[in-house]
Structure 1
Amino acid sequence: MGKDLPAGTTAARALLLKNPVHLDDREREALHQFLRDRIDEAKADDSATSWEQQLARVFDYTAWHQFIVRIDRGKGEGYQELTKKLHGALSGGEKAIALHLPLFAAVAAHYQATPSAPRVIMLDEVFVGVDTVNRGQIFALLGALDLDLILTSDHEWCMYSELSGIAIHQIVTGDGSDAVTTARFTWDGTELVSA
């Protein structure tokens, strides 16, 4: 959470993170009062001229909540906050991992709100610069988060023991013709099979 936060921010944040159906009347009233106070502050601010701007300011959670990504590079330094400076010092693979993992966690958390929703994420040229061991671990994480991945790549065949199954469609073009077809393969965690 950011510095110089409005009174009651910590309690309001905790309430916002709860499933709304589990809030009792007292908690609903506390959350209502917190938002009412933010609206009153926005109304008193002369820089927000319209009610739309006032509401936008009230509901802009980035003014009173932030996500901090911390990484442990395994070099004995422990967890460090991912700043622009640290991000710039990372290798290409480390950068990809540091940026993808929080997004995967956020998507999985979002899908928890609607358990029956398809849990699909789509990525283009996934994990460029990430070594084979780390790719396998990332695919294991995607499986643990119960996310279904659709990806495009000209080099990734997803043959990792951590990945229990995937269908691969390789695009094949004809000799000098405009015809395009696909060759289908499956990976079952141990073997690549032409379908």
Structure 2
Amino acid sequence: MIALGYSIGPWFGKACEATKRRRYLLVAGISCLLGFAVLRTLNVYGDASWMTGANTLQTAMSWFNVTKYPPSLLFLLLTLGIGLLLMCAFEHAASRNWLKPLATLGAAPMFFYVLHLYVLKFMYLVAVAIWGVNQGQLFGLSSLLWLWVISALLAVGLYPAVRWFAALKQRRRDITWLKYL
């Protein structure tokens, strides 16, 4: 995956025109999604075959049930296809102010990832100190909505630190190891 990202790096350089880059992103995204759809529909590849469920929703859930760890080809085709199409759409809407926070988070993704793990660990330790070890009652989320709410609050809460680190990376290009975070 790293090699793939590195290989498309020139698409984002100054030598590549924005219209050409959007076309590359669009074609690559659609190709990934078509590859996913063909492989998944044929049901001949992957560690978990999809099955027809009792209703359309269950069938769709089975069809989209792909392995994330380790990343399967189906998972990669689906997520990369969506990601490439989103990048194409964001490229077209690059002048919009609402994308600037996403660009900031994208300027220091590894820093955000590592930082959020430590913050989650700290939150867990505080919860254990207050309420004791989880017995399935206190820390369980009653719905998936709460997981999204907590994720959004965590991203907003960590945004200032990520913005600071992204600015540090821009200022201190002489410190080569910063580019990896």
TM-score interval for Structure 1 and Structure 2 normalised by the shorter chain: under 0.3
Per chain length, whose mean CA-contact separation is higher, i.e. which structure has more relative contact order (CA < 8 Å, sep 6+)? 2
> Rg: which structure is higher?
1
- In the superposition, the TM-score normalised over structure 2's length comes to 0.26
| TM-score under structure 1 length normalisation | 0.24
Structure whose residues are more often strand by fraction: 1
The structure richer in helix per residue is: 2
